[in-house]
Structure 1
């Protein structure tokens, strides 16, 4: 159980922070950048939920909880020592990735195939979901970078990869099942300039 009775501790004033195992690292470390960006993605979902209701709203609530799990996973290094830990660390699982895939498949079944890339936008919910997608992609890139330096749970990276796909498909659902998607028109501004 987490008890937060005091919010400021002054322990980070020198530019370090504690990881889940108590190790202190610079706030600029690759691990902190990765789980900090997961937190940022979670905050963008909070904004998206202001416009979401029904099934997508409920799914976003579950995803927000998953992202706290993912942050807990990333902030706890030393996966190879999990069995020795006094309290087993929280790690992402294949089941969480599989759930996202099932939800993506169910949403995608209602959509016409894309004939062009889409621009981020459309309805307020779709625009917010595109922001969620791009921040999640950044969290994924930072987690992959971290995995090149230290041990990272592969399920955490897979989850971020699927989640960005989830946001893309959900944005199309939010755009009237793709009918209100904003299509990319290659070279459209050049055609306009040429007509002047």
Structure 2
């Protein structure tokens, strides 16, 4: 199978099941932004390869599971209205995110102010992924119909998780959280 097909050279792409739409279609923007977020998570995690801390393997396993589910969320968004998705997001996937958030957040210092995305490279990368997930969420909300409502909930919770994950990585690897100074 060749990587290039030339079928998109005129600004059209295929959804799952072959429906052709413009590459600037909101549905394409939504699943493309999920793909972008997934890539940003991967870049962030690549900064952890050289690091060592007790919970690292469990953290990476959790994050790779999240990446896999985010890939499937993109596939749901790429499925046209009225067509059956091959894999469906379920409430327990959101419950898993909440469990990770609660577990990781329990070990963190309480926040008393906003923080700037900063610290360890992996932490800064997770903050970047968080903002991309927020854009995916906003785009998915704009679709209004034909989207599993759990998709928006999952993206909302995923951005919360990425915030906590960034703080968690900073704590374990000595990254410094920089507080926002509103009077600058």
Q: TM-score, normalised by structure 2?
A: 0.90
Larger radius of gyration: 1
Unmatched tracts of structure 2, length 5 or more: 49-55
Counterpart-to-counterpart distance in 2, 1:115 and 1:91: 38
Which residue does 2:171 correspond to in 1?
176
Distance 2:130 2:95 in 1: 18
Q: Are 1:76 and 1:89, in contact at CA under 8 Å, matched by a contact in 2?
A: no
Matches within 5 A, 1:1-196: 5-52=1-48, 53-79=56-82, 81-82=83-84, 89-147=86-144, 150-176=145-171, 180-187=176-183, 189=184
- Aligned-partner Cα distance in 1 for 2:23–2:121: 34
- Alpha-carbon RMSD across the aligned residues, in angstroms, is 1.6
Stretches of 4+ aligned residues off by more than 6 angstroms: none
Residue-by-residue CA offset, 1:69-108 (whole Å, 9 max, x unaligned): 11111100224x53xxxxx522211111110011101111
Using the alignment, how far apart are the partners of 1:185 and 1:55 within structure 2? Answer: 34
* 1:182/1:28 CA distance change after superposition, 3 Å: same
Q: Figure out how many residues of one structure are paired with residues of the other and give that number.
A: 176
Per-residue deviation, 1:179? 7.9
CA distance in 2, matches of 1:182, 1:25: 44
Structure 1 counterpart SS, 2:143 = helix
Q: CA deviation at 1:133?
A: 0.4
